[in-house]
Amino acid sequence: MSEQNQELSVEKVEEAEKIKNVANEYFKKQDYQEAINYYTQAIEINPRNAIYYGNRSYAYLRTEFYGYALADASMAIELDKTYIKGYYRRAASYMSLGKFKEALRDYEYVIKARPNDKDAKRNYTECNKIVKKIAFQKAISVKETKKKGADSINLDSMTIENEYNGPELVDGKVTLQFMKDLMEFYKNCGNLHRKYAYNILLDVKDYFMDQPSLVDVPIGDDNTFTVCGDIHGQFYDLMNIFAKNGLPSETNPYLFNGDFVDRGSFSVECIFTLFGFKLLYPNHFFMSRGNHESAMMNHLYGFEGEVKAKYTTHMAELFTEVYNWLPLAHCLNNRVVVMHGGLFSRDDVTLDEIRSIDRNRQPPDEGLMCELLWSDPQPQNGRALSKRGVGCHFGPDVTANFLKMNNLDYIIRSHEVKNDGYEVAHDGKCITVFSAPNYCDTMGNLGAFITLQGKDMVPQFTKYAAVPHPNVKPMAYANSFLSMMC
């Protein structure tokens, strides 16, 4: 430490330490943005202290800014090759970005340096399993001999046990009474019978397969339309939205804008409720794909584990098939485009190009599909590398150009926690809506949804606080490596 600080006065070193300690206190209070601000001040005073970068990396991980977390962890290691927490942070960043081979190298370093570190061994083992699984899947993918999950399901062979007392489909179809019964059943911690769960998944997959990647949604002049952002497995907050705004119906249409699952530990309840309403009101209930509707995110952040715990591995695989067919965006009244993430690294993207995206796959690391799911707005003009390490940052000029070229009024996107549940940016042309209040039971944010009148399409915002839920913590089903981040 003395060598790193030899060009700084004792007073400067002490000042940076005091600011770092303030940052630590904000971190303990789970006010990660303020912690980041103070760590940044400490770094500006003393840019040669590896701990400051390591701590800020941890705060970036908590706020899901994985690209920034990776950069800080790498800087910490560059400053101090023996700084073990730097390798931990960088491995977690790589894991969050799906770069498992790189993460494995960092975990290997940690277990060599600390052979008795149980957490490091567990994370190394889990990461190694993922690397081997990916390699195996690549090896067999060319043969395509394995039957698809949907093709291997025989509903007729599934019997309903006498002791099952939950809701039942009517001739295999969703009804309004079924949906009302299902939501009450879920509120009382029931589990929908696997036959009905599979039935819903097969039917909703068939429906989504016939949809374009960008869905056009007409809204009558006198009609109201509601847009909701991320739900993230917070079922009881989803129920609160319906309590405040009414159940979905042909006269009360909704669009849920991605990230229905993961993190929150009631993701199964959320997704079957949403899919049920999609089947009940296919032309008045809409769902966009989010970055968490992907196999790897589900493996890491809890949905896969939750489906396996409540149902089977086979069903988890079927969910992946269904998610691959979710539309990527919606255009409301030819005036407003809604996508989960944001805009593009190119200036010439048209709505027709979005419609024609081949979406039946896992999200790629670049290109239009990736950016629709991952990008974020920035206040300054132009574009920048994403704080997440995936997608891009786009400025007000990028938004204005996209709207002008496609003759649109504004865009709605989600993807980011906002203290008030929403944010209006880019001169009113880029609106963020986030519908999971007190995200992960830690963030203290409000949730929000947007209502629009077809005649003028002017957004109206409704904010709400979190409601109580059963004592199952967020991330209860998440991958074990994430325990260091939660």
Regarding whether 384 and 359 lie in a shared domain, the answer is yes
**C-alpha–C-alpha distance, residues 405 and 403, integer Å:** 6
The yes-or-no verdict on residue 155 having pLDDT over 50 is yes
Q: Which of these, 245, 274, 250, lies nearest to 260 by C-alpha position? A: 274
pTM: 0.90
User: What confidence tier does 133 reach under pLDDT thresholds 50, 70, 90?
Assistant: confident
**Digit-coded pLDDT (tens) for 242-282:** 999 999 999 999 999 999 999 999 999 999 999 999 999 99
Q: Is 142's pLDDT higher than 70?
A: no
My answer on whether 39 and 161 are in the same domain is no
**Residue 270, token pair as written in the block:** 């959320």
Q: Would you tell me the crossing angle of helices 118-141 and 84-96 to the nearest 10 degrees?
A: 30
pLDDT band, residue 486 (cuts 50/70/90): very low
365: CB partners within 8 A, 6+ apart: 390
Domain end, chosen from 107, 140, 173, is at 140
3-state helix, strand, coil in the chain (%, to 5): 45, 15, 40
1 in a domain, yes or no?
Answer: no
Higher pLDDT, residue 139 or 361? 361
Examine residue 2 and state whether it is found in any structural domain, yes or no: no
Identify which of 401, 469, 394, 407 has the alpha carbon closest to the alpha carbon of residue 439. 469
pLDDT of 169 above 60: yes
Confidence of residue 481 (pLDDT cuts 50, 70, 90): low
Residues 260, 229 share a domain = yes
Q: Domain span at residue 50?
A: 10-140
- State whether 133 and 184 are in the same domain: no
CA dist 369 and 359 (Å) reads: 7
β-strand 376-377 against 392-394: which pairing, if any? Answer: parallel
pLDDT at 99: 87
Domain CATH for 55: 1.25.40.10
249 shares its domain with 181: yes
Per-residue pLDDT at 38: 98
- At 415-443, the pLDDT tens digits run 999 999 999 999 999 999 999 999 999 88
Asked if 433 and 228 count as a contact pair (C-beta separation under 8 A), the reply is: yes
Count of domains for the chain: 2
pLDDT in tens, 220-246: 999 999 999 999 999 999 999 999 999
- What's residue 1's pLDDT? 44
**Average pLDDT of 381-388?**
94
Residue at 192 is within a domain? yes
Amino acid identity for residue 73 in this structure: A
Catalytic residues: 292
236 found inside a domain = yes
Q: What is the rounded CA–CA span in Å between residue 187 and residue 196?
A: 18
Confidence of residue 329 (pLDDT cuts 50, 70, 90): very high
Asked if 91 and 98 count as a contact pair (C-beta separation under 8 A), the reply is: no
Q: What is the pLDDT of residue 97?
A: 86
Instruction: Report yes or no on 382 lying in a domain.
Output: yes
In this prediction, residue 339 carries a pLDDT of: 98
Which domain CATH number covers 248?
A: 3.60.21.10
